[in-house]
Amino acid sequence: MPVFSNVGELDKPKRIALRAPRVVIFGGRSLRASIYEMHLRTLMDACERLKIQEIVDVGPPIDQLRTGPLPVVRRGVLEPSQISELLSDAQLGVLSYPAAYLAKSTIFAAYAAHGVAPLLVDPLSHENEDGLAGGREYISAQARFDGECPLSAVAQAAHSWYSNHNLARSVESYVALLMNSALRQ
């Protein structure tokens, strides 16, 4: 089963058009550092084309943080509720993770649970076994953003995908498995 968000979930996320033109990057130091070091150009191109005006960085401090022309607001380590609040008003969330295992990422789950459009900066690998697809539930690094990028459609698709196995549904599945097992004994 895919993993669920460890920073909360929203039943009805705010529409992308009503959110601040901001991207959130959060997680462990090494994952975030790889975005700034290896994928900065992809990040800046996406922000420019999507008219993103600021980057919010959440997590343990990165000593030598390379940035581009956009302001980066360093928030440090935050409580889950504070991360949830940031995500509920962001348009885009960036992560560096293999596409084939995307459903195993708690960061992807957090973006999807909050109706944030995920941008996957790693080169696209194979479609993933959980049915996620670039251009549908996430934006791939190869996206060209010609004309209007469907941020809203991607955010809605990611949230719909997530809501099929959110925390409540995961609990239901585990209870059903345990009940089935108990009945067989």
Q: pTM, whole model, 2 decimals?
A: 0.89
Q: What is the mean pLDDT of residues 166-182?
A: 76
Q: How far is CA 22 from CA 4, 103, 121, 128, 170, in A?
A: 23, 23, 16, 27, 30
Q: CATH number of the domain that 34 lies in?
A: 3.40.50.2000
Q: Is residue 58 part of a domain?
A: yes
* 9 occurs within a structural domain: no
Q: What is d(CA 84, CA 153) in angstroms, rounded to the nearest whole number? A: 21
Q: 75-82: long-range contacts (C-beta < 8 A, 24 or more apart)?
A: 80/6, 80/7, 80/8, 81/7, 81/8
How many domains does the chain contain in total? 1
* Contact status, residue 87 vs residue 24, Cβ threshold 8 Å: yes
Burial of 67 (0-12, 13-18, 19+ CB in 10 A): middle
Comparing 10 with 126, the larger pLDDT belongs to: 10
User: How far is 47 from 75, CA to CA, in rounded Å?
Assistant: 19
Confidence of residue 36 (pLDDT cuts 50, 70, 90): very high
Q: What is the mean pLDDT of the chain?
A: 88
Residue 3 lies in a domain: no
The answer to whether residue 107 is domain-embedded is yes
Domain annotation covers residue 142 = yes
* Least confident window among 89-93, 124-128, 130-134, 171-175: 124-128
Does the residue 7 lie in any domain?
no
- Residue pair 80/10 in contact (Cβ under 8 Å)? The answer is no
Q: Domain for residue 8, yes or no?
A: no
C-alpha dist (Å) from residue 143 to 20, 22, 85, 138: 22, 19, 28, 10
pLDDT at position 3 = 85
Is residue 88 situated within a structural domain?
A: yes
Write out the residue range of the structural domain in which residue 136 sits: 16-184
- Each residue of 125-140: pLDDT tens digit? 556 777 888 888 998 8
* Cα 122 from Cα 38, distance rounded (Å): 9
**pLDDT in the model for residue 127:** 64
